């Protein structure tokens, strides 16, 4: 395999697109993920978005697999069940001899299901391979709806934090360190969400994804200080510190009508139009 990772990814995408172009039930093929954010590098997957009825998904996956096989043998397949989103069927493929971190993340999604993924601030702008109906057109995020989502989640985190703090402390008292650590991880996820509301409100719910690139150094340091638990004996002190940080963010975010900083995906130049 002499192709660069970028060329390899483009070859696979082109082969799949050619195999699906004559299928009238396939309404669009695009590429999301890192490519849609102009962040694709040597480690990036090929995130294929194929717009078609779910009743047609098995046929689409068969054609995708045949197309991939013209480039390399499929060495591993993961049919994601249940898929992460509504109106979607999803499979991951590893290819023999591909760049080390390469995978094909292939999603068949309905024309209705794909709509939320067109929010520019959350998902960038899809690379369009073909689009019969204009369904892959980027759009601006619904700011009011997103604000409502954040407000609802803030209420949930305010309610759940004392419960999980109690659960961690209870399991520590019982000597169940591993169970305590499991509940502690839920609190850590809450910290990341709250930092997201402050620093990347349009993508506050992306969890661990992109924290190294989208959160400021101070927020990354705060997560790091609580994420790496050196020993069971360190957990009580970290729990107390994590509770303080979460409480401070809850107060700060409740006091402000909108988070302070928005980190939105840039609108890349030179992107082909659908």
Query: What is the percent of the chain with per-residue pLDDT over 70, rounded to a whole number?
Result: 93
123 CB-near residues (< 8 Å, 6+ apart): 32, 36, 37, 117, 265
Kindly indicate the confidence band of residue 3, based on its pLDDT and cuts at 50, 70 and 90.
confident
Query: What is the percent of the chain with per-residue pLDDT over 90, rounded to a whole number?
Result: 90
CA distance 61 to 30: 15
240 three-state secondary structure: helix
Per-residue pLDDT of 167-208, as tens digits, reads 999 999 999 999 999 999 999 999 999 999 999 999 999 999
Q: Is the pLDDT of residue 130 over 60?
A: yes
Say what the pLDDT of residue 219 is.
98
Q: Which of 220, 222, 196 is nearest to 207 (CA)?
A: 196
DSSP string, 25-59: T--EEEE-HHHHTT---TT--EEEEEE--GGGHHH
Q: Is the pLDDT of residue 269 over 80?
A: no
Kindly indicate the confidence band of residue 246, based on its pLDDT and cuts at 50, 70 and 90.
very high
Say what the pLDDT of residue 46 is.
96
pTM confidence score: 0.87
Per-residue pLDDT of 206-243, as tens digits, reads 999 999 999 999 999 999 999 999 999 999 999 999 99
Kindly indicate the confidence band of residue 256, based on its pLDDT and cuts at 50, 70 and 90.
confident
48-56 average pLDDT score: 98
Chain-wide mean pLDDT for the chain?
A: 92
CATH of 5-131, one of 1.25.40.80, 3.40.50.300, 3.40.980.10, 3.30.460.10: 3.30.460.10
Q: Tell how strand 127-131 and strand 88-95 pair up.
A: unpaired
CA atoms within 13 A on the CB side of 121: 14
For residue 53, whether the previous peptide bond is cis, meaning omega lies within 30 degrees of 0, is no
Q: Is the pLDDT of residue 33 over 60?
A: yes
21-40 average pLDDT score: 95
Say what the pLDDT of residue 274 is.
27
CA distance 256 to 262: 14
Biggest distance spanned by C-alpha atoms of the chain: 64
Q: Going edge to edge, which strands form the sheet with 74-80?
A: 74-80, 88-95, 104-109, 46-51, 28-31, 127-131
Per domain, the residue ranges of the chain are 5-131, 143-255
């Amino acid at each position: 395999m002499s192709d660069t990772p970028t060329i390899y990814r483009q070859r696979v995408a082109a082969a799949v697109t050619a195999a699906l172009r004559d299928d009238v039930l396939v309404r669009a093929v695009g590429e999301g993920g890192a490519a849609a954010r102009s962040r694709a590098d040597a480690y990036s997957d090929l995130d294929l978005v194929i717009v078609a009825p779910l009743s047609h998904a098995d046929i689409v996956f068969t054609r995708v697999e045949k197309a991939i096989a013209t480039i390399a043998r499929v060495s591993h397949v993961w049919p994601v069940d249940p898929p992460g989103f509504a109106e979607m069927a999803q499979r991951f493929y590893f290819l023999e001899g591909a760049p080390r971190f390469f995978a094909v993340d292939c999603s068949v999604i309905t024309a209705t299901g794909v709509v939320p993924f067109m929010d520019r601030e959350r998902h960038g702008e899809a690379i369009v391979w073909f689009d019969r109906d204009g369904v892959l057109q980027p759009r601006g995020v619904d700011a009011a709806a997103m604000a409502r989502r954040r407000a609802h989640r803030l209420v949930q985190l305010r309610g759940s934090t004392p419960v999980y703090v109690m659960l961690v402390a209870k399991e520590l008292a019982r000597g169940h360190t591993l169970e305590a650590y499991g509940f502690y991880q839920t609190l850590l996820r809450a910290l990341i969400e709250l930092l997201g509301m402050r620093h990347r409100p349009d993508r506050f719910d992306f969890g661990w994804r992109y924290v190294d690139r989208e959160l400021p150094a101070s927020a990354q340091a705060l997560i790091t200080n609580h994420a790496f638990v050196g020993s069971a004996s360190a957990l009580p002190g970290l729990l107390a510190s994590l509770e303080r940080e979460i409480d401070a963010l809850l107060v700060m975010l409740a006091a402000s009508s909108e988070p302070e900083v928005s980190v939105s995906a840039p609108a890349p130049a030179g992107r082909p139009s659908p």
